[in-house]
Amino acid sequence: MNSQLSTLETIGAILSFKSSTDLLKEKIENNEIDWDDIVKIGSRHLVLPTLYYRLKEKSLGHLIPEELLNYLKEIATINRNRNQSILSEVKQISLLFNKNNIDHVFLKGTALLATNYYNDIGERMIGDIDVLVDIHKLQKARILILDIGYNDSDTANSNPLQQPNPKHLPRLIRKDKMAAVEIHRKVLKNPYLHYLEPAILLKEKRIINGIPVLDPQHLLEHNILNLQMNDDGNRRNYTHFRTAYDSLVILKKHPTINIHKDYNSPYFQNYFSIHALFFKDFNFKPISIKSKLHVQLFKIITLYPHAKYYRSRIMLFFSLISFLCNRVWHFLINKDYREYVIKHRKRIYFEQKSKF
């Protein structure tokens, strides 16, 4: 079996709530697992702390190499301490916004962390604090965050290539805080906004432990569509196990959500079909021909690195063509834009290339 596919299956078995612990134990005892690959791919998928806690919950930690167990434990401990600080940050921001009548709701990992979806707060690696704010209060919210010591990040400089009306304001950072703050005006990039409209998300939010978070169904949908649309996962046949584990804990806590009945869009179909290859919890099989082809293509590019390479080259070519066609008019009429593109042409190319 392809080593990458085998490693993904092992990581899925560790994270899953429905995989056989006995089979996993037997696999570990028979030395059938390449732990170096587990660490490499687990790190890429941002699930190393999750792997530690899930191995511990399955009572399998003592079976893995001691040095590796200590390494994972150290990462998990660091992540747990970081998340405790982030939770304090979230509470401070929410109190500040409530005091100033700013309608808001926390998103993604921050929301899951604040509302006890995980057995241990160290399970989930958190990047930024994502918070959706009433569009009429965006600048007020930003000023309030700046007033408590945050600053515009270094990446907040003017960039003519930046999409007009981006999902969120420039990241706000504070040296003594663990996470940057991203104040969102919307949660999906154009042209997908209608899938999750900000006004509806704010209206149907829930308050849990004093923190406003998305309604469970919206929380699941945003978790999936952020990967499939914002991160271009659907087009790239991309799988991400941190996102998958987030879906698992949401569905585990809200078993009435029916992924077979409620999610007919290709974005959801493709997501569940691919991740069901590694997580029995989803118990999902593709229905449409397109979804079946999507899964087969995923298997091919996972099994055969050369296929993935050539597919990436082809997609990069068409992406660059599309990028240039969409901006050629701006290039011709906008001097600042033209100068920026010429000056940063190599970086622009590599930014496009990195997507594949």
> How far apart, in whole angstroms, are the C-alpha atoms of residue 173 and residue 154?
9
Give residue-wise pLDDT tens across range 315-340: 656 566 666 676 676 677 777 777 77
Q: Is the dihedral of CA 317, 320, 326, 330 positive or negative?
A: negative
Q: Strands, DSSP E only, in the chain? A: 104-106, 129-133, 151-152, 172-173, 181-184, 206-208, 211-213
- Position 23 scores a pLDDT of 96
- Position 199 scores a pLDDT of 96
Structure-block tokens of residue 27: 């696999």
> How far apart, in whole angstroms, are the C-alpha atoms of residue 256 and residue 130?
27
| Cβ neighbours, 10 Å, residue 166 | 13
- Position 180 scores a pLDDT of 94
> How far apart, in whole angstroms, are the C-alpha atoms of residue 65 and residue 132?
43
- Position 352 scores a pLDDT of 59
- Position 160 scores a pLDDT of 44
> How far apart, in whole angstroms, are the C-alpha atoms of residue 38 and residue 272?
22
> 3-state secondary structure string, 231-258?
CCCCCCCCCCHHHHHHHHHHHHHCCCCC
Q: Which stretches of the chain score pLDDT less than 50?
A: 1, 155-161
Q: Count CA atoms within 13 Å of residue 333 on its CB side.
A: 4
Distances (CA, A) of 231 to 125, 212, 240: 17, 25, 10
Beta strands 104-106 and 129-133: pairing type?
Answer: antiparallel
- Position 59 scores a pLDDT of 96
